[in-house]
Amino acid sequence: MLKSKTFLKKTRAGGVMKIVREHYLRDDIGCGAPGCAACSGAHEGAVLESQPLDPPSSLCPQPHYLLPDTNVLLHQIDVLEDPAIRNVIVLQTVMQEVRNRSAPVYKRIRDVTNNQEKHFYTFTNEHHRETYVEQKQGENSNDRNDRAIRVAAKWYNEHLKKMSAENQLQVVFITNDRKNKEKAIEEGIPAFTCEEYVKSLTANPELIDRLACLSEEGNEIESGKVIFSEHLPLSKLQQGIKSGTYLQGTYRASRENYLEATVWVHGDAEENKEIILQGLKNLNRAIHEDIVAVELLPKNQWVAPSSVVLHDEGQNEDDVEKEEERELIIRAAVSEKMLKPTGRVVGIIKRNWRPYCGMLSKSDIKESRRHLFTPADRRIPRIRIETRQASALEGRRIIVAIDGWPRNSRYPNGHFVRNLGEVGDKETETEVLLLEHDVPHQPFSQAVLSFLPKMPWSITDMDMKNREDLRHLCVCSVDPPGCTDIDDALHCRELENGNLEVGVHIADVSHFIRPGNALDQESARRGTTVYLCEKRIDMVPELLSSNLCSLRCNVDRLAFSCIWEMNHNAEILKTKFTKSVINSKASLTYAEAQMRIDSATMNDDITISLRGLNKLAKILKKRRIEKGALTLSSPEVRFHMDSETHDPIDLQTKELRETNSMVEEFMLLANISVAKKIHEEFSEHALLRKHPAPPPSNYEILVKAAKSKNLEIKTDTAKSLADSLDRADSPTFPYLNTLLRILATRCMMQAVYFCSGMDNDFHHYGLASPIYTHFTSPIRRYADIIVHRLLAVAIGADCTYPELTDKHKLADICKNLNFRHKMAQYAQRASVAFHTQLFFKSKGIVSEDAYILFVKKNAIVVLIPKYGLEGTVFFEEKDKPKPRLIYDDEKPSLKIENTVFHIFDKVKVKIMLDSSNLQHQKIRMSLVEPWIPGISVPSDTSNTDINEPDKKKKKLEK
């Protein structure tokens, strides 16, 4: 049956176009109940159970299926995902509405419907002859959709009655809309709210905790006193932003002070780029990463950023007067030049809430169901939840979602989502740091895995099309020990004309991951492989990362090769790019490769190739440094794990060899060569990587620190910085140069991916290269896959596709990649911090030499070279007399009693694990030398006030 709508549309040219929309209605769409004779054979995909054995409901004792409306799906997805809820009919009308309103919920519901064990059935009611409804005149689309859902529920109940009498099934309509529920009951449809139904499942009381509390009445605090001003409606906010009364920006809460936040204003205006908010009422219920509208306060109300550390530790959850006292503390007297544009939040444009990890702060009131949840991320306010299992959740990591924040509540309301496990447990803490840094780490879905090649896999004649056979070359790979995802391999040989041929061969991942399929979409979403201390979260499934794409030795592998003809002075004479087949002759570690190069007795083909590469790499590096490339330093640590417990038993800084530098030089050269080629071919949509030059103010601390040691650091260009770092040597203090380079690294900007058509500045500051990209690690970086596709099209080895030449789509990909790379870095640091805590938990208290990196008003930040560990030594502690501190910002220096500390001074510190705060455990450092009475501690005594050195938390972000 065909329904059609005809309407007229005016074209841009002024003509009139007739548009006909056809809508097909069918009789052969199955209801999903397997025992239904009328629909047998019409079901596709997952079906409902013939006899639902759902948990018994006191409201609906007979076997039944559930049919939720759109709002239940949007707001109660945590309940629907619970294993106890099965046999749910999801209507096409509902799915379409959810898709339009929330992409994350739509993805979650798709995952649930694909799970065979859940028995969720998607019913195409919009194309079924008996359930399709047309919009009535004067009826809005919302009311039409509500009616369509009721029509489908009624049809289901009548349809299922036609099944055999003993198999009597009901369809229960679940809605939180009062009017919709009343209409359904009038029409004879069994209908309940989600809360009524969940509370009727007496065998599953824990489900009640997962209910989102939506109505703001009844969930507020008893006092009912209004704390916050009302948020303006979106229409008023948009008008205000347009007229310039309000500014739109991203709300960034402070980690150090819960009464302070900044808003980064969107747009290109230079003034008021960053607005400070101080005080609960001005923060007005905004949460970290929300998009907000702010109103600037008059200049006489502007404030300066606070230097006070304030954490919300109070138990009395609604003592607003106390908060007002604290607000006065942070507004210390400051000079006028310190004042910053200050504002208040007038409304929320877009909430960016996510599920939060943390711990329950159990209420002191006996039998209370209301408790406060403290998130692991200090930027998120505490959340009030109702739970009946508070005792069981104490000392455990849990996930909570926010439901809303009423005006008369000090904290937002939320609901319990799931229990992750015990605090301090390695698996639990790894899960927390992955969730908190938004690292996608679920196993790859069947839809993704279905696009992997079938095993056993071998290279076919079709694969050899547009590909060179380079299996005869003496290719080898050099990687860290234990590396299974080998992206790159190298070769070097002398040509008949006396020149050298050097090849960089990169895994041809884009051969296996085709544009637009589920595997490609998942790789793009993940963006990068994340390396934790004991775990690798792959960007692509293991079959590719550790097998078919990995350039292991003695197997044929597909590659993308960049081959240069060079003279012996490492000058490039010719460059060739080609898809290829290689067979690596050796998979070496950096140490093994170094041993071959240094050995007097080894002269085989692999060793000769490595020596040739090493010789050229030294020339390339020298030339790069002459151009102004920076050689910076950051202490990287390596844990030695116990083979049985997998706990860290030793912690050392990583040793770098010549071979590390050799591989790096050729990777850089390949990346630069490919960047030039793809930009030549695609000037508007090449994916490139740039590193902006830091603003001069970033270097202030480096210049002052060097000056305190009578050294001059010039920072006007990268070349002058590199040269002055090379000259900054002290015969009596050999580690000084490394410290200066570590400090210089902290002054740098973040390197980012961008689309060439959306930017004019391509320069890479750190490498002193006018153009750069990433080509050499496609197994672990999605950016490289896009670059491979661009290069393949440029050399005619593969065909293009629309998204590849759409600069706006490419800019969106870059935005996600930059976010994923930043989060991966933070997750890696958090993993190192956690394993460092485990190490010191088992090692106990130790004293070590350290160097001062930064001097603060009441503390020094030190680096311990032995462990590559950084930490803060505080000189002001609670319940102890305050020492006499004089801080000089110019030098910078800190005078404590009669001792003066400068940057790079050598000190001795005692290191221990502080477990007094279960959620935020940290490495605590105390001064041992120089000895300052009342401040320094003896190196050999154990500290008795560190409570239960047992559990831990994460995060050491810089």
Does residue 316 register a pLDDT over 60? no
The confidence score (pLDDT) of residue 488 equals: 93
- List pLDDT tens digits, range 172-181: 999 988 899 9
Instruction: Spell 638-662 as b/e; 16+ CB within 10 A means b.
Output: bbeeeeeeeebeebeeeeebebbbb
Q: How confident is the model at residue 755 (pLDDT cuts 50, 70, 90)?
A: very high
* pLDDT higher than threshold 80 for residue 890: no
Architecture of the structural domain at 844-929: Beta Barrel (2.40)
Quote the pLDDT of residue 173: 93
- If one compares 662 and 921, the residue with the highest pLDDT of the two is 662
Helices 718-727 + 736-747 axis angle, to 10? 160
The predicted structure's pLDDT at residue 217? 41
Q: Sorting pLDDT into bands at 50, 70 and 90, what band is 641?
A: low
Query: What's the Rg (C-alpha) of the chain?
Result: 32
**What per-residue confidence (pLDDT) applies to 847?**
85
Q: Residue 311: pLDDT above 90?
A: no
Average pLDDT over residues 26-53: 73
Strands of 572-583's sheet in order across: 468-469, 572-583, 556-566, 500-507, 488-494, 476-479, 586-589
Is the pLDDT confidence value at 334 over 60? no
Q: Which of 19-23, 222-226, 783-787 has the highest mean predicted lDDT (pLDDT)? A: 783-787
Assign a CATH topology to domain 44-210. Answer: Rossmann fold (3.40.50)
pLDDT at 30: 82
Kindly indicate the confidence band of residue 466, based on its pLDDT and cuts at 50, 70 and 90: confident
pLDDT of residue 220: 42
SS3 of 473-519: CCCEEEECCCCCCCCEEEEEEECCCCCEEEEEEEECHHHHCCCCCHH
Q: What is the pLDDT of residues 762-788, one digit of tens each?
A: 989 888 899 999 999 999 999 999 999
Over residues 47-78, the pLDDT tens digits come to 788 777 767 788 888 888 899 999 899 888 88
Identify the weakest region by mean pLDDT among 751-755, 801-805, 811-815.
801-805
pLDDT at 453 over 90: yes
Answer yes or no: is pLDDT of 41 > 60. no
In the predicted structure, residue 942 carries a pLDDT above the cut 50:
no
pLDDT digits (tens, 9 = 90+) for 112-143: 888 888 888 899 888 888 888 888 888 888 88
Task: Give the pLDDT mean for 482-497.
Answer: 91
Beta strands in 392-484 (DSSP E): 396-404, 413-422, 468-469, 476-479
The tens digit of pLDDT for each residue in 805-860 reads 898 999 999 999 999 999 999 898 888 888 888 888 877 888 888 888 888 777 88
Query: Residue 137: is it exposed, middle or buried by C-beta count within 10 angstroms (0-12/13-18/19+)?
Result: exposed
Cα dist from 181 to 60, 138, 167, 194, 352, whole Å? 16, 21, 26, 11, 30
Q: Where are the domains of the chain?
A: 44-210, 234-350, 355-423, 446-689+755-825, 694-748, 844-929
pLDDT of residue 166: 60
Q: What is the mean pLDDT of the segment spanning 30-54?
A: 71
Among 870, 899, 868, 872, which residue's Cα sits nearest to residue 883? 899
Residue 312 has pLDDT above 90, yes or no: no
| Res 954 pLDDT > 90 | no
953 or 403, higher pLDDT: 403
**844-929 has the same fold as 234-350:** yes
Q: What is the pLDDT of residue 522?
A: 93
355-423: CATH topology is: OB fold (Dihydrolipoamide Acetyltransferase, E2P) (2.40.50)
> Within 10 A of 126 (CB to CB), how many other CB atoms are there?
19
SS (H, E, C) 87-112: CEEEEHHHHHHHHHHCHHHHHHHHHH
Tell me what the mean pLDDT of segment 221-234 comes to.
Answer: 75
Strand-pair category, 893-896 with 885-888 = antiparallel
What share of the chain has pLDDT > 70, as a percent?
Answer: 87
Pick from 440-454, 630-644, 849-863 the range whose average pLDDT is largest: 440-454
- Find residue 537's DSSP bridge partners: 530
Query: Which long-range contacts (C-beta less than 8 Å, at least 24 apart) are formed by 50-57?
Result: 50/167, 51/167, 52/86, 52/87, 52/119, 52/169, 54/84, 54/85, 54/86, 54/87, 55/84, 55/201, 55/203, 55/204, 56/201, 56/202, 56/203, 57/197, 57/200, 57/201
Give pLDDT tens digits for 525-540: 999 999 988 888 999 9
Q: What is the CATH number of domain 234-350?
A: 2.40.50.690
Return the minimum-mean-pLDDT range out of 435-439, 551-555, 814-818, 934-938.
934-938
Cis peptide before 881, with omega less than 30 degrees from 0?
no
User: What is residue 476's predicted lDDT score, i.e. its pLDDT?
Assistant: 94
* 957 pLDDT more than 50: no
Q: Could you tell me what percent of the chain has a pLDDT over 90?
A: 31
Above 90 in pLDDT, residue 293?
Answer: yes
In the structure, what pLDDT confidence band is assigned to residue 945 with cuts at 50, 70 and 90?
very low
Q: Which residue do the tokens 């059935």 mark?
A: 121
Mark 198-218 as b/e (b = at least 16 C-beta within 10 Å).
bbbbeebeebbbbbbbbeeee
pLDDT tens digits, one per residue of 500-514: 999 999 999 999 999
H-type alpha helices, 244-291 = 280-283
Q: What is the pLDDT of residue 331?
A: 57
Of residues 503 and 914, the one with the higher pLDDT is 503
Is there a contact between 418 and 369 (Cβ–Cβ < 8 Å)? no
Sign of the alpha-carbon torsion through 81, 82, 86, 89: negative
pLDDT averaged over the chain? 83
Q: What is the mean pLDDT of residues 150-173?
A: 82
The average pLDDT across 623-649 equals 70
Give the pLDDT confidence score for residue 45 in this predicted structure: 55
Average pLDDT value for residue range 679-693: 92
In this prediction, residue 726 has a pLDDT band, given cuts at 50, 70 and 90, of: confident
Reported as a pLDDT band with limits 50, 70 and 90, residue 216 is very low
| Digit-coded pLDDT (tens) for 565-606 | 999 999 999 999 999 999 999 999 999 999 999 988 888 999
Res. 271 pLDDT band, cuts 50 70 90: low
* pLDDT for position 201: 86
Q: What is the pTM of this model?
A: 0.80
